[in-house]
Chains A and B, each alone.
Chain A
Amino acid sequence: KAGVTQTPRYLIKTRGQQVTLSCSPISGHRSVSWYQQTPGQGLQFLFEYFSETQRNKGNFPGRFSGRQFSNSRSEMNVSTLELGDSALYLCASSLYKGPTEAFFGQGTRLTVV
């Protein structure tokens, strides 16, 4: 069975631009969570989607948003990119609500220049 797939793997954007990242969960998984990983802050929770509804949100500014489609695929969007948004963005999927047995994708490495 295929794992969590994130696209693209690498991305370079200019400050002020916006970006959309995609995550396809494991087949049958209905929960998708997003995390940001940086050397300074470690892994930090962004938000979780379950059945197309955001059920939890971390402490990130409103520039960070997401959505989930009926097939459970999820996208996250970051608008007005800042240099500090450079990070590895990770998506995790779970069968049910919450992080029980959450499996991660390879991540999207975003570099803002």
Chain B
Amino acid sequence: GESVGLHLPTLSVQEGDNSIINCAYSNSASDYFIWYKQESGKGPQFIIDIRSNMDKRQGQRVTVLLNKTVKHLSLQIAATQPGDSAVYFCAETFGNEKLTFGTGTRLTIIP
């Protein structure tokens, strides 16, 4: 079946630097994508979403980029803070159906 995967399982970034978390998706028909942040012992927290008719969307300190040509999604976090340490998941859906999640990337912020 279709799956969403991540290039790197772990990422360490110096505090204050920008971080980029990548995600590859295999269903070219996917039309909606969400990035979630999950801290230890908590449920996934909605960060930002993007529809397939867009290639970029910005939020507070976060930017999501969508490249449909290569089926690639990325999450950029500006000026990382210790509180950004968490596991980040991308999720995709087609036709407003279920979310299919990637395996997750653990982001560690180095003080």
Contact = CB atoms under 8 A, between A and B. Distances in A.
Interface of A: 4, 6, 33, 35, 42-45, 48, 56, 58, 90, 92, 97-107
A79 to B, nearest CB: 22
Contact of A100 (B32, B98, B102): B32
B44 A45 contact: no
Contacts of A105: 43
A99 B44 CA distance: 13
The 6 closest A-B pairs by CB, nearest first: A98-B96, A104-B43, A43-B101, A45-B98, A99-B99, A104-B44
B101 A99 contact: no
Given A99-B34, A100-B32, A42 B43 contact: no
A102 B46 contact: yes
Contact of A42 (B32, B46, B93, B101): B101
Given A48-B98, A99-B99, A90 B93 contact: no
B87 to A, nearest CB: 10
Which of B45, B93, B98, B100: most chain A CB closer than 10 A? B98
A100 B96 contact: yes
Contacts of B100: 45
B45 A45 contact: no
- Greatest chain A CB density within 10 A among B43, B93, B102, B103 is at B43
Interface residues of B, number: 22
Contacts of B45: 104
21 contacts: A6-B43, A33-B99, A42-B103, A42-B104, A43-B91, A45-B100, A58-B98, A98-B93, A98-B97, A99-B34, A99-B97, A100-B32, A100-B49, A100-B96, A101-B46, A102-B34, A102-B99, A104-B36, A104-B46, A106-B42, A106-B43
Given A43-B91, A99-B91, A99-B98, 9 more contacts: A6-B43, A33-B99, A42-B103, A43-B101, A45-B98, A56-B98, A98-B97, A104-B43, A104-B45
Contacts of B102: 42
A99 B93 contact: yes
A35 B103 CA distance: 14
